[in-house]
Amino acid sequence: MILRRDEPLAPRTSYRIGGNAEYFFIPARADEIPPAMSYCRAKGVDLRVLGGGTNLLVRDEGCRAVVSLERLKHTDCYGPFAKAEAGASFPAFVKKLADNGCRGAEALAGIPGTVGGALVMNAGGHHGEIGDFVKRVRVVEPDGRMVTLEHDACGFRYRDSDLKDRIILGADFEFEEGDRDEIRAKMREIFAKKKASQPLHGRSAGCVFRNPEKAPAGRLIDELGFKGTRVGGAAVSPVHANFLMNEGGASAKDMLELIQWIRNTAQERAGVDLQLEIKVW
Ligand SMILES: Cc1cc2nc3c(=O)[nH]c(=O)nc-3n(C[C@H](O)[C@H](O)[C@H](O)COP(=O)(O)OP(=O)(O)OC[C@H]3O[C@@H](n4cnc5c(N)ncnc54)[C@H](O)[C@@H]3O)c2cc1C
């Protein structure tokens, strides 16, 4: 187990924003996690789990304790069956699935981060989401027990699951067998559409708000006239209004002010209570 003190979190997030973690754990094995949890409990500190940091805004003051599963990153694929540890790169895993002819993987194209983050967020899009293919998930419960949850116990729903208070270690998946060239072609098509409609290369955390029932959040924010609006270094993308970008030097305070401004305006002018999709630490 590696334990670092005052680890900067900004370089570990796609926003490149935020302060340090007072305690930063990097376990080499899953059985090192429960002792780290006990250590934090004894100090009265919450232990948060960091994946790829692609759906995350870390506050400027940082946080107390963080565990990264970056060393638990093994993946395996045999026919339509696959296994992945939580710290594995999600895009690399999805590519492996496509190369092995796993039909359904194409729906997961272009989503950054780790397998653990994808599971807890039930990452996906119009064409499908990761929870559709999960057989079982291995987790550490808040009390330190390691258990396996079958699909139905995971509570997968729109960009959410019942996994969020647990530490995900890894999962088993099952896909349908498909033609790898067809899957790869479909994947390229989905990625090209994403690239045309979303600012994939700037510093963002993807969509900031969940889509409300009435209309997509991006359309609503655009209709409220926010595209291009800035607070300090934080700005609403002119390409997709649900992407709030760090255009350089944005603080978490800038980003949170912009978020609050949009939420207040959506409430006052459209009667919509926008909820955050990203996590704020
Ligand atoms: C350019 C861009 C495009 C994106 N497009 C999409 C998209 O199309 N669809 C989509 O769904 N998302 C999208 N996202 C958002 C993001 O990539 C996903 O939500 C992703 O699955 C988050 O994974 P992560 O590893 O980065 O999680 P993090 O950001 O590190 O963490 C997110 C949450 O998951 C928790 N978590 C992470 N790992 C674990 C674990 N092992 N156990 C327990 N909890 C854990 C964290 O504590 C945190 O609460 C996009 C983001 C960007 C920057």
For the stretch 53-77, pLDDT in tens is: 999 999 999 999 999 999 999 999 9
Q: Does 67 sit in the ligand 1 pocket, CB within 6 Å?
A: no
pLDDT at 127 over 90: no
Could you tell me if 32 and 140 lie in one domain? no
Span 121-140, mean pLDDT?
A: 95
pLDDT at 126: 85
Could you tell me if 16 and 33 lie in one domain? yes
Could you tell me if 180 and 269 lie in one domain? no
Could you tell me if 185 and 223 lie in one domain? no
Is 69:114 a contact under the CB 8 Å cutoff?
Answer: yes
pLDDT at 129: 96
Position 245 in a domain: yes
pLDDT at 105: 94
Position 204 in a domain: no
For residue 22, give the H/E element and its range.
strand 20-26
Decide: helix, strand or coil at residue 272. Answer: coil
How far is 39 from 274, CA to CA, in rounded Å? 37
How far is 47 from 276, CA to CA, in rounded Å? 21
Could you tell me if 80 and 189 lie in one domain? yes
Distance 35 CA to ligand 1 centre (A): 25
Of 192, 247, 239, residue with least CA distance to 218 = 239
Q: Cβ-count burial of 207 within 10 angstroms (0-12 exposed, 13-18 middle, 19+ buried)? A: buried
pLDDT at 214: 82
Could you tell me if 101 and 165 lie in one domain? yes
Report the percentage of the chain scoring pLDDT > 90.
96
Span 130-145, mean pLDDT?
A: 97
Q: Does 50 sit in the ligand 1 pocket, CB within 6 Å?
A: yes
Q: Give the amino acid at 106.
A: E
Q: How many independent structural domains does the chain possess?
A: 3
pTM exceeds cut of 0.85: yes
- Residue 136, domain extent: 75-197
Position 208 in a domain: no
Could you tell me if 135 and 103 lie in one domain? yes
Could you tell me if 144 and 235 lie in one domain? no
Pocket test for ligand 1, best of 54, 90, 146 (most atoms within 8 A of CB): 54
How far is 162 from 174, CA to CA, in rounded Å? 20
Distance 194 CA to ligand 1 centre (A): 17
pLDDT at 261 over 90: yes
pLDDT at 247 over 90: yes
